[in-house]
């Protein structure tokens, strides 16, 4: 696709009222891919007005018709899967194979799931002498991150549109090109003008204007806990609905007797995927004292197989992080880990040799990490794994629950019921048992400071509905 020097508002590509532009760069080599408009408050006003004007017609459209349009959107995204993968690889730096398998395939699956859910959902029910209606919440302001750029868009847009809401999207500054492709797909699928609108721009400018807009009924934000806290405060002050999918510091708990080799191999792969830029990554590996050193050796050997490479080259498993600023942030955390006494067994803060032009971080593994260390408490968002020792299962549970986050996690055991019993006690929104597969229809979201609300599947649809009772 050709990048648009325009915003998608009310069904057409139109110039921004604001003058600024954003440069989109390739983090693998620093080259400029494109420039897009840096929309401002006036552009957000126009987009919200278009969404508000389109709301009565779209919310009144029968669910079966909304489902049919979502099915058409699914077909368009399916047809453009290779293009999606190539765009995400260029603007995010994700290895092409991962972009194909995850960045393109998962949003396609999610869009298809909402076509089915919209057709099957009960938007009206009887409870005694009441008729209870499930109605769209209204105009949605969606602010999405760069780490899974299309998935996070679809995880908000598909349920919002299925519910009968209209929306304005402000995508991340680093990855606006795949957002433009999504706007093209919405138009090609035949959605009415104004139902979906796209404003590219800076978070503190366009994002803030959207989050604070008095004509937005729900703000759905995915990103850092710090920014989410500000958005939540602004929404609360306006008595406005908010959905927040925030950070994580998830624990991968390997119980005594579990298949250690498999648990470590899968755990390292989980952390290295997408260069560690995954909010739900299992960045803390917890191993019993008797097998701790063996696990450390296995983790270091597994990490060594993730050699940095050109994301467009076949066989590359680890690309760059999203930009130079993120690279410096991750390197700073690695240096902090060393300073606080953790043992570096793989990687380190230095730029990998031969990759000085890109935003690369070496796959890094720390041993002798204690629960209070910075690298065990704060979200690093890079290919960095901390391996922690525990004495017994109660100690493991205390460590696993001992952060402000609660987004995801994993438990490994030779006895599945033992793993499930442990997972029930974890303060986290999603737990994989013995390597259970990601389910795009299961609810995703966090406890504690990892967020408010749920995405994906029927639970994700519920975030965009409000209830009305008619007493008969």
Residue-wise pLDDT for 220-233, tens only, equals 999 999 999 999 98
Residues in CB range of 100: below 8 A, 6 or more apart: 81, 82, 85
Q: Supply the DSSP symbol for 444.
A: B
pLDDT at 24 over 90: yes
Tally of CA atoms within 13 A in the half-sphere of 150 that contains its CB: 37
Q: What is the CATH number of the domain that holds 349?
A: 3.40.309.10
Q: What is the CATH number of the domain that holds 61?
A: 3.40.605.10
Tell me whether residue 422 is in a domain. Answer: yes
Contact yes or no for 380/276 (Cβ under 8 A): yes
Catalytic residues: 245, 279
Tell me whether residue 203 is in a domain. Answer: yes
Pairing of strands 284-288, 251-254: parallel
Contact yes or no for 279/248 (Cβ under 8 A): yes
Tell me whether residue 296 is in a domain. Answer: yes
Separation between Cα atoms, residue 213 and residue 287, nearest integer Å: 48
Tell me whether residue 1 is in a domain. Answer: no
Q: What percent of the chain has pLDDT over 90?
A: 97
Same domain? For 429 and 330 the reply is: yes
pLDDT at 238: 85
Structural domain containing residue 266: 251-439
Same domain? For 208 and 316 the reply is: no
Residues in CB range of 389: below 8 A, 6 or more apart: 286, 287, 288, 289, 292, 368
Average pLDDT over residues 267-294: 98
Give the model's confidence band at 234: pLDDT under 50 very low, under 70 low, under 90 confident, else very high: confident
pLDDT at 235: 84
pLDDT at 2: 84
Secondary structure percentages of the chain, helix, strand, coil, to 5: 45, 20, 35
Average pLDDT over residues 296-305: 98
Separation between Cα atoms, residue 452 and residue 109, nearest integer Å: 24
Same domain? For 174 and 291 the reply is: no
Separation between Cα atoms, residue 7 and residue 20, nearest integer Å: 13
Count of other CB atoms within 10 angstroms of residue 158: 27
Separation between Cα atoms, residue 217 and residue 219, nearest integer Å: 7
Pairing of strands 32-37, 21-25: antiparallel
State the angle between helix axes of 177-189 and 149-163 in degrees (0 to 180), rounded to the nearest 10.
30
Contact yes or no for 93/320 (Cβ under 8 A): yes
Residue 217, Cβ density class (10 Å: 0-12 exposed, 13-18 middle, ≥19 buried) = buried
Same domain? For 329 and 466 the reply is: no
Same domain? For 41 and 23 the reply is: yes
Residues in CB range of 390: below 8 A, 6 or more apart: 286, 287, 288, 289, 396, 399
Pick the closest to residue 456 from 448, 447, 464 (CA basis). Answer: 464
Separation between Cα atoms, residue 161 and residue 463, nearest integer Å: 12
46: its two tokens: 């126009």
Same domain? For 191 and 309 the reply is: no
Same domain? For 19 and 154 the reply is: yes
Same domain? For 296 and 231 the reply is: no
Average pLDDT, the chain: 97
Same domain? For 289 and 373 the reply is: yes
Q: What percent of the chain has pLDDT over 70?
A: 100
Contact yes or no for 295/264 (Cβ under 8 A): yes
Same domain? For 467 and 427 the reply is: no
Tell me whether residue 70 is in a domain. Answer: yes
Tell me whether residue 74 is in a domain. Answer: yes
pLDDT at 239: 87
Contact yes or no for 277/377 (Cβ under 8 A): no
**Farthest CA pair distance, the chain:** 73
pLDDT at 248 over 90: yes
- Tens digit of each residue's pLDDT (9 = 90 or more) over 112-152: 999 999 999 999 999 999 999 999 999 999 999 999 999 99
- Tens digit of each residue's pLDDT (9 = 90 or more) over 353-372: 999 999 999 999 999 999 99
pLDDT at 246: 96
Tell me whether residue 444 is in a domain. Answer: no
Contact yes or no for 74/108 (Cβ under 8 A): yes
- Tens digit of each residue's pLDDT (9 = 90 or more) over 39-85: 999 999 999 999 999 999 999 999 999 999 999 999 999 999 999 99
Separation between Cα atoms, residue 396 and residue 382, nearest integer Å: 24
Paired residues of 411 in beta bridges: 253, 433
Tell me whether residue 2 is in a domain. Answer: no
Residue 141, Cβ density class (10 Å: 0-12 exposed, 13-18 middle, ≥19 buried) = buried
Separation between Cα atoms, residue 56 and residue 64, nearest integer Å: 17
Average pLDDT over residues 298-314: 97
Same domain? For 291 and 352 the reply is: yes
Separation between Cα atoms, residue 244 and residue 225, nearest integer Å: 9
Separation between Cα atoms, residue 353 and residue 100, nearest integer Å: 27
Where are the strands (E) in 333-464, listed by range? 343-346, 364-369, 384-390, 409-412, 432-433, 451-452
Separation between Cα atoms, residue 389 and residue 344, nearest integer Å: 15
pLDDT at 1: 82
Same domain? For 423 and 285 the reply is: yes
Number of domains in the chain: 2
Separation between Cα atoms, residue 285 and residue 378, nearest integer Å: 14
């Amino acid at each position: 696709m050709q990048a648009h020097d325009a915003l998608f508002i009310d069904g057409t590509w139109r110039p921004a009222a604001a003058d600024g532009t954003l440069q989109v760069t390739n983090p693998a080599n620093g080259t400029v891919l494109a420039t897009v408009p840096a929309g401002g408050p006036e552009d957000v006003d126009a987009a919200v007005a278009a969404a508000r004007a389109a709301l009565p017609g779209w919310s009144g459209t029968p669910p079966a018709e909304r489902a049919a349009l979502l099915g058409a959107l699914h077909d368009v995204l399916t047809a453009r899967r290779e293009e999606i993968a190539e765009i995400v690889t260029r603007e995010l730096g994700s290895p092409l194979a991962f972009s194909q398998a995850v960045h393109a395939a998962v949003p396609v699956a999610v869009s298809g799931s909402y076509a089915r859910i919209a057709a099957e959902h009960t938007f009206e029910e009887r409870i005694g002498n009441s008729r209870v209606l499930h109605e769209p919440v209204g105009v949605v302001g969606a602010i999405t991150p760069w780490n899974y750029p299309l998935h996070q868009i679809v995880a908000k847009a598909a349920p919002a549109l299925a519910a009968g809401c209209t929306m304005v999207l402000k995508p991340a500054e680093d990855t606006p090109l795949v957002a433009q492709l999504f706007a093209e797909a919405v138009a090609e699928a035949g959605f009415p003008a104004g139902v979906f609108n796209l404003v590219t721009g800076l978070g503190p400018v366009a994002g803030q204007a959207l989050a604070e807009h008095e004509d937005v009924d729900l703000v759905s934000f995915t990103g850092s806990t710090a920014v989410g806290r500000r958005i939540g405060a602004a929404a609360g002050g306006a008595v406005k609905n908010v959905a927040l999918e925030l950070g994580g510091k998830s624990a991968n708990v390997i119980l005594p007797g579990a298949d250690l080799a498999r648990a470590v191999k899968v755990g390292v792969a989980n952390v290295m995927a997408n260069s560690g830029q995954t909010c739900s990554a299992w960045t803390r590996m917890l191993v019993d004292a008797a097998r701790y050193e063996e696990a450390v050796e296995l983790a270091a050997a597994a990490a060594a197989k993730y050699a940095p490479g050109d994301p467009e080259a076949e066989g590359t498993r680890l690309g760059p992080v999203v930009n130079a600023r993120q690279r410096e942030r991750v390197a700073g955390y690695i240096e902090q880990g060393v300073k606080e006494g953790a043992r570096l067994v793989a990687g380190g803060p230095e730029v990998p040799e031969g990759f000085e032009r890109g935003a690369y971080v070496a796959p890094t593994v720390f041993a002798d990490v204690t629960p209070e260390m910075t690298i065990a408490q704060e979200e690093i968002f890079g290919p960095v794994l901390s391996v922690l020792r525990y004495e017994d299962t109660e100690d493991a549970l205390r460590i696993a629950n001992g952060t402000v986050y609660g987004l995801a996690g994993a438990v490994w055991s030779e006895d599945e019921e033992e793993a499930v019993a442990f997972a029930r006690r974890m303060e986290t929104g999603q737990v994989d048992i013995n390597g259970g597969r990601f389910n795009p229809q299961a609810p995703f979201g966090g406890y504690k400071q990892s967020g408010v609300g749920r995405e994906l599947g029927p639970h994700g649809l519920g975030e965009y509905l409000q209830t009305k009772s008619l007493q008969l």
